[in-house]
Structure 1
Amino acid sequence: MNLLGVDVSGACATFSRLCYFGAPWYSVILQWYRQQRSEHYRYPSSNDDIQVVYESKNYIVVNKDDLVPIDAFDAPAQVNVTQQVKKWFEKREIDKFLRQDPPATEEQTEQWKKSLAQKVEDIRYSHRLDLGTSGCMCFARSTAASFLTYKAFIDKRVLKYYLALVHGHLHSSYPIYIDVPIGENASCYGRIMCTNDHPYCTHPKPAQSQVDILEHGEYDGKPASKVLVRILTGKRHQIRLHMNYLGHPIIGDYLYTEPIDYKPHRIMLHARSLTIHTDQELIDALAKDPFVTQMDPKWKKTKTIYPVNRW
């Protein structure tokens, strides 16, 4: 990106990194910055731009877009995932109500409007994803359903797999098991995390991940690998830190790479699948793989080690 003939890309990346946890408008900065950098950048222009991958009477799972805030607290002026889900649900229910035969009376319509307003109000997310992470995100349709997902997370009855594009080619005949505690970095402002080998790591807690190598290839002309990561614990920025610990940081991770990896249009991390064993039902959702050449021409696969659709 040029400003008066001077390339200020590095400065913008550094500024966005400094502000990431320092102000409530950090996502606006990152949003603007990413839009300047990429021809492939995609950002929802409306509440209708949403993909539902699982739905039941208790839950809705959507394929969250990258760099979309979860709620209005993160970025009041932007489209957010919670708003998208509520608007999608409200529109769908209105369409069903208008198509019913015979048509509702005026009194029935008023009662239905109150009921719908309460149902929309009750929708809430069951877990969070990082701003730059795309993929499966679950929303509960009632307080009771929300409690049951919370209980499932506490009881470790949740299975989450992530896809990631990382720098370099990983080589291993077996899944790579990472057992490296994660804590907060006391040398940084805000909740920047680090592994316990960092000199300023405070209050490290156990963190385990399992990494399977799926593909080798190139991203923007440099060696890269597609990996499948199962997180056995749920620490903040766990996958990003564990891949960095292996020496293969996630492409586009502007927070934990040295030097800052600011050129890619997004963090190449995607919540591929989500399985939650609640006491009410089994939630099983799968989001399509976004890391394919058709969606991002900079990624070129050269070797398949384990097919994505067979794990």
Structure 2
Amino acid sequence: MEATWQYTGTEPVKIKKYLQSLGMGHRLFNDIKKGQGEFLVDHRPVRPTTKILPNQPLTIRVVPEIPDPTVQVSHDPLKIIHEDANWLVIDKPAGVSSIPGPTAGNGTILNRVKGYLVAAGAADLRPHLITRLDRFTGGLLLVAKHHVASSMISQQVQQHRMLKEYTAVVEGQLEKQHGMIDQPIARRDGQIQRVIAVDGQPAQTEYWVEEQGENWTRVRVQLHTGRTHQIRVHFASLGHPLIGDHLYGGDTSQVDHQLLHASKLSYKDPFTLEQLTFTSPLPASFKKY
């Protein structure tokens, strides 16, 4: 793949420092440096130690990754919200797993994206899921079409600068209209279920009440960390589990999976430097509430 940026600074800067400011990780830079690609300034190959001058274009060319033979191709459907040369934003239905695993077959989102890229004749056939969702959580997923995109956005993920908002319906009526749940989450004895524990990983979930019924509350939720089952564990710890969440004690009398939907995703595209924002409407399972 090939990508070009126009340097808009006022002072000369080394290629490495400039690419790091855009988000590129050390590993990818070193891979290109060691021969898995090349750096070009004004369309001429240059050494990695070269300095870029104001208004000069910097281009990187990188060889494609080897496809993962363990990820099979699936031609099951994908609902694509956005696509460009580097990204796919997918609206995942509840019931479909994000990646292959012991309980997931070959129809996961990762398998489907690989199948989509194969059908499109793409050179890069090793997509990277930047965000993931539980099997029975639907909504927006960001997929990098190649490892350069994955590397360039890694800082946003690690520093929690990517906005991820969810809609959830929880049992009962929350006392506060707005709150921050700040409780560490841990895994115990190899179980799928997570627990609140003092020795767990830090986890922060912010919420806003948007609508209330007699025995339910619809909330808008923003993640400030990305722990497994974070929203489900945090609301269960308040005594308000998600409706339909059998794993954390939610009422399953009317729905067979947790009412949780990844409704908004916003990130800064490291290639165009634009802030991109996408939304997903609530699925039919939410309508009765």
User: How high is the TM-score relative to the length of structure 2?
Assistant: 0.66
* Per-residue deviation, 1:127: 2.4
Q: Which digits, 9 at most, give the CA deviation of each residue in 1:185-232, with x for residues without a partner?
A: 34xx42421112xxxx6x3122111111111236xxxx2121111111
Aligned counterpart, 2:257:
266
Q: State the secondary structure of the residue aligned to 2:95.
A: coil
Distance in 2, matches of 1:211 and 1:297, equals: 18
* Per-residue deviation, 1:270: 0.7
Aligned counterpart, 2:166:
162
Matching of residue 209 in structure 1 with residue 213 in structure 2: no
Aligned counterpart, 1:284:
277
Q: State the secondary structure of the residue aligned to 2:153.
A: helix
Counterpart among 51, 70, 86 of residue 114 in structure 2: 86
* Per-residue deviation, 1:278: 4.7
Alignment of 1:37-116 (within 5 A): 47-75=75-103, 77-91=105-119, 93=120, 116=121
Identity %: 28
Structure 2 stretches lacking a partner, 5+ long: 1-73
Q: State the secondary structure of the residue aligned to 1:144.
A: helix
Counterpart among 253, 266, 275 of residue 266 in structure 2: 275
Aligned counterpart, 2:288:
299
Q: State the secondary structure of the residue aligned to 1:264.
A: coil
Partner amino acid for 1:168?
G
Aligned counterpart, 2:228:
236
Aligned pairs, number: 214
Higher relative contact order (CA 8 A, sep 6+): 1
Aligned counterpart, 2:188:
185
Partner amino acid for 1:139?
V
* Per-residue deviation, 1:183: 1.5
CA contact (8 A) 2:97 2:133 kept: no
Q: Classify 1:84/1:205 alpha carbon distance in 2 versus 1 (closer, same or farther; 3 Å).
A: same
Q: Classify 1:74/1:125 alpha carbon distance in 2 versus 1 (closer, same or farther; 3 Å).
A: farther
Q: Classify 1:212/1:297 alpha carbon distance in 2 versus 1 (closer, same or farther; 3 Å).
A: closer
Partner amino acid for 2:112?
Q
CA RMSD of aligned residues (A): 2.5
CA contact (8 A) 2:243 2:255 kept: yes
CA contact (8 A) 2:167 2:218 kept: yes
Distance in 2, matches of 1:153 and 1:297, equals: 29
Distance in 1, matches of 2:80 and 2:267, equals: 16
Partner amino acid for 1:135?
G
Distance in 2, matches of 1:279 and 1:245, equals: 37
Q: Which digits, 9 at most, give the CA deviation of each residue in 1:139-195, with x for residues without a partner?
A: 1011100112222211222111010111112243x4111111212234xx4242111
Distance in 1, matches of 2:219 and 2:149, equals: 32
Q: State the secondary structure of the residue aligned to 2:226.
A: coil
Structure 1 stretches lacking a partner, 5+ long: 1-45, 94-115, 301-311
CA contact (8 A) 1:67 1:131 kept: yes
Q: Classify 1:274/1:204 alpha carbon distance in 2 versus 1 (closer, same or farther; 3 Å).
A: same
Matching of residue 226 in structure 1 with residue 218 in structure 2: yes
Distance in 1, matches of 2:139 and 2:164, equals: 11
Q: Classify 1:55/1:134 alpha carbon distance in 2 versus 1 (closer, same or farther; 3 Å).
A: same
Q: Classify 1:283/1:146 alpha carbon distance in 2 versus 1 (closer, same or farther; 3 Å).
A: farther
